[in-house]
Amino acid sequence: MRPSASRLAMVIAGLAGSALLAAPAMAQDKQQSDQSAAAPQPERDIIVTGFRSSLNAALQEKRTSAAAIDAIKAEDVGKFPDSNLAESMQRVPGIALARGDGGEGKNIAVRGLGAAFTRVRLNGMEGTAQTGSSDIYGAGNTGRSFDFNVFPTEIFSELAVRKTPSADVEEGSLGATVDLKAPHPLDFHKPFVATISAKGVWNEVSRKVDPRVSLLISKQNSDGTLGILGTFSYSHRNIREVGYSAVNILPTYVNGGFCSPIGVTPQNPATSALKGTDAANCSTGNPRTGSVAAYNQIQSLTGPSGQPGGGVFLPRIPRYLNSVQDATRLGGSLSLQWKPDDRTEIVFDGLFSRYQVTRHDNYIDALSFARNASNNGQPMTSVTDIQLKSNGSLLYGAFNGVDLRSESLVDRFTTTFAQGNITLHHELTDKLTVDVMGGWSKSIFDNPERLTVNLDAIDAPFSIDFRGGGSIPVLKYGIDVSNPANFSYAPGKADGTVLGNFNTRNWYVTTRNLTYDTSFTWAWSDHFKLKFGGQFRESAFKNRQLNIAPANQATTALPAGVTTSDFTYQITGLNKLLNPGALSSFTATDIEKWKQAVGYNSFTFCGIECGNGSPEVREQELGAFVMQQFDLPDTLPIPVRGDVGVRFVNTMQHTVGYIPTATTGGAYPTVAIPAIVDRQYSDWLPSANIVLELRPNLLMRLSAAKVMSRPELAVLPSGGSVNAVTRTATIGNPYLNPIRATTFDAALEWYFRPGSLLSVAYFHKQISTYIQSVNTLVPYSQLGLPNTLLANSNTQPSDLFTVTRSVNTPGGPLNGVEVNLQLPFTFLKGFAKDFGLLANYTHVASRVNYVLQSSATSTLSTTANLVNMSPDTASGTLFYENKLFSIRGTVSYRGPFIRQIPSGANDSDVLGNHGTTYIDASASYNLTKQVKLTVDVQNITDTHNVLYIDSGRQDPLFDTRTGRTITFGVNAKF
């Protein structure tokens, strides 16, 4: 049972309350306590190191900043607190972690705003990093969003989350600006520092031990003015994920209903000599065996559409899944730092990371519910028994004439990131300082192969059973799915029967960023500093996509003497890893052997002439700002500090897309017409941050600003792409306006003891323009594209395509509250003083207007929470640390959230994610001053991630298990 947000909040509040009640009892001298809080330093009789030291340093940075900042510092040289950067940020108030394939943290949402609204800077320069993923998680990120799993944690020493803007910080964020900083050689007090870490990573689902190593070396010259530092990190993971997927949930009328039982009128499907359909047969060799009672029960239930069967919702492609990933992560940094005198500092920072993945996804599908009569799908399927929930969701169903499929996908991709930037800080005079930064970065997402091969078995019995409870049903297949002889790979029949096929895609995406920044700071009095400057930034995005040429799309006969047994193998163990009712084994395609069998390596690919654009975007931003910083400790009744300023930015956007059109006579290949759009827009972005010191240990923060976030790069170019096999299409929109909002923040921070904090913050964002991705089911014939793009795909112009397009919508308000506690138990006696507690809770509410359907004459809309926003998130960490031993446990809760509106399914409003609670633990033991043993355990409770469709029915869409992960190792420092 998953704990509710309110229950988890009560637990955290109870822990916090108990700790706060104990604190005053241990404070004997109020004056001494106030003085200590006013200048928070570690108590003299306690040596603060490791995790506790990193917390104190982060707290001090938060306290002295004018803007609202939360930071995470390295515990030690080369030792970040967590194994994944995104997972580290779960401990920051207001941050919700988004996990991807294999259960690994991938990106974040800040105060309800998803990854697209969060800017990430690496060593002060904006960066982008994209990786691939399975279809359920979007099949890959090719926009501005930052995938944190690209980078190893070991190459960074600090992570800071800036939640309120200042005029001197680049625009582009609605949620937060995240700063990742690599270590510098002059940060250390020793002229030479070296650390090495070696770890083994074991997962209970993959049952393998994988390596992870890192190295840091830092060297200074004799007078400590010049230094060089380098880091290196390598890890390799074998990840296995098992589960259930429905792909979609559809009412039964969408694909033409079921085959009517003998004697039931009207007959469905209609008599057809080509398909072998008559009064006794659903199709050739497929008799009408349906139950009259079950069939009539379905037909009698109407939903919002009013059509018979519209009140019965079935999985589109119910299937078990098995995903195996082979992932290698390589990263490093190089830093050169020179301080020739106290007035000058020059730093060069270089970063490099490569994340290489080969993922094999295997499914055993029941496919008929996703097919219409053209491919002898659902209308040729008999329903023999059905049990429904009161809301129309499926509880149990038994069917005959179901087409089964063994689906095998291989996805190979590499993300390569490189960055170099140089910064200069120089005090021109005692009052005037200049800061200059120039940098370049490039992210390459190379996805040379995303290939799916399908083997089909026709007209088999099949059942799906949710009666045991939970979101993973028991699927029963009426044939031996472990026997490859039961599956076919052959050309389709004249009646539309599909006997196996394949589809593939080749992506190569590059994003290049340039930044040049100069700012001046003039301390024109003891209490005022005027800061002003300008900036030029450029982002260049290119997306080359290739698909198999239509001439090679058709399924060809296997060579003489070759059978499916020659290129298949067995997926085993689902009954042990998932549930006892799951399959013990099923047939899967060995992709490399299949390539040899069909001559795949001689097939040809095509790009824009196949309807797959190779879009480009170039954005240039010219910005300037002026900001007044102030610190008034004595002139007002209470000390006040902060900043007030305004930023101006002009955005110039150049997009190139391609629109396919038919050649004369409609023959293939098509002609792609380039569509070039140039536009620009400007924004004035005022901001203010004010800190009121109500007492020496009690701060009030107030912030207000106008902010903007630009559209994702990939959705801007005109034209788009189409995939005839998967029946999907994507269309760009170069006229999208940025998301703009007005924000207000207020917070109280009570630093009631050294190293302690209790804070509460309120935030409000009035989103005036929003960007929504709209998925619509549209017949291909209405897309205005040539029918030649459907050649050899078994797809007809009348078939429905899922068309994705981004549009501007009105937006709406967002309001939230954060509560944060940091409490080391230093007020206790004995070993208890080495304990400590971190706890936070965030509640967010929003009302955003979404477009569900739009046409030239009418628009259907709804109001709901922001996409990717969990109304409730919470995290609690209890830690213990002394000179020799450290241990901590963390509970992280993320409440349910909406992933997509509309859901992409008929008569279902949203695609959502159930709430999750993850429990992790970490421990270390110092063998000597130089050598430390470490153990980390992730996902102790074996939590699953579960997606659903429709806010009312909440039909299970996706449920996977990744299991517990244990990391053990040794760190050595010299």
User: Does residue 705 surpass a pLDDT of 60?
Assistant: yes
The predicted pLDDT at position 667 comes to 56
- Quickly tell me which residue has 């559209």 as its tokens: 711
Residues paired with 444 in a beta bridge: 416, 510
The predicted pLDDT at position 701 comes to 97
* Average pLDDT rounded to a whole number, residues 470-497: 94
> In the numeric block, which tokens belong to residue 86?
């995104």
The predicted pLDDT at position 10 comes to 39
Contacts of 636 (CB under 8 A, 6+ apart): none
What are the distances in angstroms from CA 704 to CA 117, 163, 450, 645, 824? 18, 11, 46, 11, 32
The predicted pLDDT at position 146 comes to 77
- Report the alpha-carbon distance of residue 456 to residue 376 in Å, rounded: 13
User: Does residue 43 surpass a pLDDT of 80?
Assistant: no
- Report the alpha-carbon distance of residue 691 to residue 703 in Å, rounded: 9
Sign of CA dihedral 582, 586, 590, 595: negative
- Report the alpha-carbon distance of residue 313 to residue 954 in Å, rounded: 11
Angle (CA) 335 341 344, round 5°: 60
Bridge-based pairing of strands 728-731 and 800-809 is parallel
Identify residue 858 by its one-letter amino acid code: S
- Report the alpha-carbon distance of residue 395 to residue 377 in Å, rounded: 22
The predicted pLDDT at position 11 comes to 35
Instruction: Outline where 44-94 has alpha helix (H).
Output: 50-64, 85-88
Contacts of 292 (CB under 8 A, 6+ apart): 261, 263, 264
Give the helix/strand (H/E) hosting 263: none
> φ, ψ for residue 64 (rounded to 5)?
-85, -10
Give the helix/strand (H/E) hosting 5: helix 5-26
In the chain the first and final C-alpha atoms are separated, in Å, by: 47
> In the numeric block, which tokens belong to residue 442?
């490039």
- Report the alpha-carbon distance of residue 679 to residue 393 in Å, rounded: 48
Instruction: Kindly report, residue by residue over 743-781, the tens digit of the pLDDT.
Output: 999 999 999 999 999 999 999 999 988 888 776 777 888
pTM: 0.86
Bridge-based pairing of strands 739-750 and 800-809 is unpaired
User: Does residue 856 surpass a pLDDT of 90?
Assistant: no
Highest average pLDDT, of 19-23, 136-140, 355-359, comes from: 355-359
Q: Specify whether the CB–CB gap between 841 and 871 falls below 8 A.
A: no
The predicted pLDDT at position 19 comes to 35
* Average pLDDT rounded to a whole number, residues 445-467: 95
Give the helix/strand (H/E) hosting 38: helix 30-38
Residues paired with 346 in a beta bridge: 338, 424
- Quickly tell me which residue has 């700071």 as its tokens: 521
User: Does residue 12 surpass a pLDDT of 70?
Assistant: no
Q: Specify whether the CB–CB gap between 385 and 399 falls below 8 A.
A: no
- Report the alpha-carbon distance of residue 280 to residue 270 in Å, rounded: 11
The predicted pLDDT at position 662 comes to 63
Instruction: Kindly report, residue by residue over 115-130, the tens digit of the pLDDT.
Output: 778 888 999 998 887 7
> In the numeric block, which tokens belong to residue 201?
């990573």
- Nearest 10 degrees: Cα torsion 393, 396, 401, 406: 90
What are the distances in angstroms from CA 79 to CA 76, 198, 228, 934? 5, 12, 19, 11
Contacts of 215 (CB under 8 A, 6+ apart): 78, 194, 195, 196, 197, 231, 232, 233
What are the distances in angstroms from CA 886 to CA 47, 48, 407, 457? 14, 12, 47, 56
Instruction: Kindly report, residue by residue over 167-194, the tens digit of the pLDDT.
Output: 999 998 887 898 999 999 999 989 999 9
User: How many residues can be counted in the chain?
Assistant: 974
- Quickly tell me which residue has 């609204």 as its tokens: 117
Bridge-based pairing of strands 344-366 and 118-122 is unpaired
The predicted pLDDT at position 687 comes to 96
- Report the alpha-carbon distance of residue 651 to residue 681 in Å, rounded: 5
- Quickly tell me which residue has 């099923």 as its tokens: 586
> In the numeric block, which tokens belong to residue 937?
């355990």
User: Does residue 450 surpass a pLDDT of 80?
Assistant: yes
Confidence of residue 921 (pLDDT cuts 50, 70, 90): very high
Instruction: Kindly report, residue by residue over 190-222, the tens digit of the pLDDT.
Output: 999 999 999 999 999 999 999 999 999 999 999
520: closest CA among 419, 603, 615, 425?
A: 425
Average pLDDT, the chain: 87
User: Which 8-state DSSP code applies to residue 811?
Assistant: B
- Report the alpha-carbon distance of residue 365 to residue 583 in Å, rounded: 12
> In the numeric block, which tokens belong to residue 216?
């840091």
Percent of the chain with pLDDT over 90: 63
Confidence of residue 107 (pLDDT cuts 50, 70, 90): confident
> Reduced to 3 states, what is the DSSP secondary structure of residue 183?
coil
- Report the alpha-carbon distance of residue 389 to residue 467 in Å, rounded: 10
Sign of CA dihedral 794, 901, 894, 756: positive
What burial class does residue 628 get, using C-beta atoms within 10 Å of its C-beta: 0-12 exposed, 13-18 middle, 19+ buried? Answer: middle
What are the distances in angstroms from CA 869 to CA 46, 164, 179, 769, 865? 41, 18, 22, 17, 7
The predicted pLDDT at position 720 comes to 67
- Report the alpha-carbon distance of residue 589 to residue 245 in Å, rounded: 19
Confidence of residue 712 (pLDDT cuts 50, 70, 90): confident
Angle (CA) 545 547 550, round 5°: 145
Instruction: Kindly report, residue by residue over 369-382, the tens digit of the pLDDT.
Output: 999 998 899 999 99
HEC string of 528-541 equals EEEEEEEEEEEEEE
Angle (CA) 436 438 440, round 5°: 165
DSSP track, 819-875 = EEEEEE-TTS-GGGGGEEEEEEEEEEEE-EEEEEEE-SS-EEEEEEPPTT--SEEEE
Percent of the chain with pLDDT over 70: 89
The predicted pLDDT at position 905 comes to 81
The beta strands (E) that lie in 616-754 are given as 616-632, 640-661, 671-695, 698-709, 720-723, 728-731, 739-750
User: Does residue 355 surpass a pLDDT of 90?
Assistant: yes
Contacts of 293 (CB under 8 A, 6+ apart): none
User: Does residue 47 surpass a pLDDT of 90?
Assistant: no
